[in-house]
Amino acid sequence: MDNSRWTSGQIPRLDGKIILITGASSGLGLEASTILSAKGAKVIMAVRNLEKGKTAAAAITSKIKNADIELMQLDLSDFSSIHKFSEEFHGKYANLNILINNAGVMYPRTREITKQGFETHFGTNHLGHFLLTGLVLDVLKNTPQSRVVTQSSALHKYGGDIHFDDLNMEKTYSKAKAYAQSKLANLLFAYELDRRFKTQKQDSISTASHPGYTATALQRSQGLLVAAANKFIAQRIEIGTLPVLRAATEENLAGSEYFGPTKWLETRGYPQIVNSSDKSYDAGLAKELWEVSEKLTGFSYNF
């Protein structure tokens, strides 16, 4: 099969599969939920705002008659919400085929912090998903060939570093550095999770993706110029969602694959395996970040 122009038509039927996706209320998460529902999966849309989630779910069911959707409330910027979500989830599900860590924040107007006081990019994009994945790990382990997909960004390559001496950027805040740190952390986590699955001889895998530059609400706080760029330069949501869909559904992956577009500095095009930054493959750095993340979330992974 020619995979150089991979489209959602190549996704196999997903009947019987349970998929949990964060940030499902808009943008890439909503589009992915729509396609995965159309393929027959049960999609659990984790949303921070249930009212917005209802509108999103209604948009899906208006297009896909038999869509099997469940809405669940989850605020990744609040550890207590993540624990509450996990309790509810465990009450309902003993299996989880695919977890898609997609939600993200980018460039709030000023430095913001999460409920527990972490810089909002690091706390939400990384720590929130780190905790969520750890809390549902037992259910993933209980499911043959389960998969975790983490959404990163090409911007992790531009100044992306883990500032262990100032993870919350209290000394010097830069929104670009804070976003890049969180998106590098997403990749370090995705690859380290995959290494740990393999060390523990589990048949689960962890993959990653990035959408290039896709027109969504993500850049909402960045003014008119970016709004214009979103309109005229960014690629359509249908194309930008393909990398995460491919990372989530392509069969026979070994784990640790990173999918993204390949054209125009990886800002657009169909998804293929792409390279992330050298730092993202640093297993020592990933281990250090993992240990710090366990400490900061107060949660130890149980493999």
Stretch that binds ligand NAP, among 48-56, 84-92, 138-146, 273-281 (CB under 6 A): 48-56
Query: Nearest approach, Cβ of 141 to ligand NAP (angstroms)?
Result: 24
Site string for ligand NAP, 69-88 (x = CB under 6 A): -----xxxx-----------
Query: Nearest approach, Cβ of 160 to ligand NAP (angstroms)?
Result: 12
Closest to 297 (Cα-Cα) out of 140, 117, 105: 117
Comparing CB distances to ligand NAP, the nearer of 78 and 194 is 78
Q: Within a 13 Å sphere around the CA of 187, how many CA atoms are in the beta-carbon half?
A: 30
Q: Which of residues 174-203 bind ligand NAP (CB under 6 A)?
A: none
Structural tokens at position 79: 């550890």
Q: Is 121 in the site for ligand NAP (CB under 6 A)?
A: no
Q: Is 123 in the site for ligand NAP (CB under 6 A)?
A: no
Q: Is 160 in the site for ligand NAP (CB under 6 A)?
A: no
Comparing CB distances to ligand NAP, the nearer of 40 and 108 is 108
Q: Is 23 in the site for ligand NAP (CB under 6 A)?
A: yes
Q: Is 60 in the site for ligand NAP (CB under 6 A)?
A: no
- Give the integer Cα–Cα distance in Å for 150 and 189: 8
Q: What is the DSSP string of the chain?
A: ---TT--GGGPPP-TT-EEEEESTTSHHHHHHHHHHHHTT-EEEEEES-HHHHHHHHHHHHHH-TT-EEEEEE--TT-HHHHHHHHHHHHHH-S--SEEEE-------SS--B-TTS-BHIIIIIIIIHHHHHHHTHHHHHTSTT-EEEEE--GGGGTT----GGGTT--SS--HHHHHHHHHHHHHHHHHHHHHHHHHTT-S-EEEEE---SB-SSTTTTSHHHHHHHHHHTSBPHHHHTHHHHHHHH-TT--S--EEEEEETTTTEEEEEE----GGGG-HHHHHHHHHHHHHHHT-----
Query: Nearest approach, Cβ of 284 to ligand NAP (angstroms)?
Result: 25
Comparing CB distances to ligand NAP, the nearer of 15 and 88 is 88
Q: Is 272 in the site for ligand NAP (CB under 6 A)?
A: no
Active-site amino acid positions: 179
Q: Is 153 in the site for ligand NAP (CB under 6 A)?
A: yes
Query: Nearest approach, Cβ of 199 to ligand NAP (angstroms)?
Result: 27
Q: Is 271 in the site for ligand NAP (CB under 6 A)?
A: no
Site string for ligand NAP, 216-245 (x = CB under 6 A): xxx---------------------------
Q: Is 26 in the site for ligand NAP (CB under 6 A)?
A: yes
Q: Is 48 in the site for ligand NAP (CB under 6 A)?
A: yes
Comparing CB distances to ligand NAP, the nearer of 56 and 285 is 56
Comparing CB distances to ligand NAP, the nearer of 49 and 145 is 49
- Give the integer Cα–Cα distance in Å for 164 and 198: 27
Q: Which residues bind ligand NAP (CB under 6 A)?
A: 22-23, 25-29, 48-49, 52, 74-77, 102-106, 124, 151, 153, 210-211, 213-214, 216-218
